[in-house]
Amino acid sequence: MAPAYKRILLKVSGEALAGDNSFGIEPPFLQAIAKQIADVANTGVQIGVVVGGGNIFRGMAGAADGTDRVTADLMGMLGTMINALALSNAISRQGIKSKAFSAVTMPNVADTFTARAAKSALEDGFVVVLGGGIGNPFFTTDTASTLRAIELECDVVLKGTKVDGVYTEDPMKNPDARRYDTVSYDEVIGKNLKVMDTAAFALARDNSMPIIVYALDDPGGLTGVLAGKTRSTLVSA
Ligand code: UDP
């Protein structure tokens, strides 16, 4: 059966790479994510990945400790590049061609992101791993995921989280919270359901980019989500 999606944008948070730790990259978790990506790439789906950096440095935390916010966010963006290199290399080790791009110019480290170059790599069968967020302070890699999905003409954004979708309230705090199968952008934004930041949802709404929220630790993995076999929430109009 032909895959339902031709091109997807996957958001991998720094937290997912840190596994059971709060800091750094845990090789078994890195490899497990790379394998999930390779399994989907092997079905012919084109994949762009935006990586976070929360396992290394978050600008907000740095700013709270006294570093000026712009500097702290630059540090955060550099952290995402460490993850991008690690993930791109791990995907290559799964036998799938992969190329890392950076939103911040650092030619010795990675190609500078342009939609043109990234699209061409996707069409040539590379998984593209996008680091550096959008390249500006005061943004997050969630917003970068939505933006890149729109720029690269992806069919959908996939956002893995600790829980299996969007809930009426934080299910970690209120066990009576209910999961949505589908929910509108306006409801997510209006009720301030903090799955991604508001800028990410607003950009998705204005450009009709659907977002699927699923549990990172679901045994069906990314393949299950794309096949519609995994519990998840679809955020759309
Ligand atoms: N960041 C930024 N601009 C961007 C994306 C990220 O300044 O476009 C910085 C910001 O400091 C952020 C850090 O990079 O805290 C790591 O990204 P994020 O918090 O989104 O990572 P995640 O939570 O997904 O691991």
Note whether residue 188 is domain-resident: yes
Helices (H), the chain: 14-18, 27-41, 59-64, 69-92, 115-123, 141-151, 185-190, 198-206, 221-226
Note whether residue 57 is domain-resident: yes
Q: Which residues touch 42 (CB under 8 Å, ≥6 apart)?
A: 96
* The token pair that represents 204 in the structure block: 């998705």
Note whether residue 176 is domain-resident: yes
Parent domain of 32: 7-236
Domain count, the chain: 1
Note whether residue 75 is domain-resident: yes
Is residue 80 in contact with ligand 1, taking CB distance under 6 Å?
A: yes
Give the mean pLDDT of 50-57: 97
Q: Is 198 annotated as a binding residue?
A: no
Instruction: From 9, 65, 141, 157, give the residue whose CB has the most ligand 1 atoms within 8 Å, as the site to mutate.
Output: 141
Q: With bands split at pLDDT 50, 70 and 90, how would you rate the model's confidence at 191?
A: very high
Instruction: Tell me, in angstroms, the distance from the centre of ligand 1 to residue 122's CA.
Output: 24
* The token pair that represents 164 in the structure block: 């299996």
Note whether residue 157 is domain-resident: yes
Note whether residue 1 is domain-resident: no
Is residue 165 in contact with ligand 1, taking CB distance under 6 Å?
A: no
Note whether residue 202 is domain-resident: yes
Task: For Cα atoms 206, 45, 155, give the angle at the middle one, nearest 5 degrees.
Answer: 10
Instruction: Please write the tens of the pLDDT for every residue from 75-130.
Output: 999 999 999 999 999 999 999 999 999 999 999 999 999 999 999 999 999 999 99
CATH number at 155 reads: 3.40.1160.10
pTM above threshold 0.95: yes
Note whether residue 2 is domain-resident: no
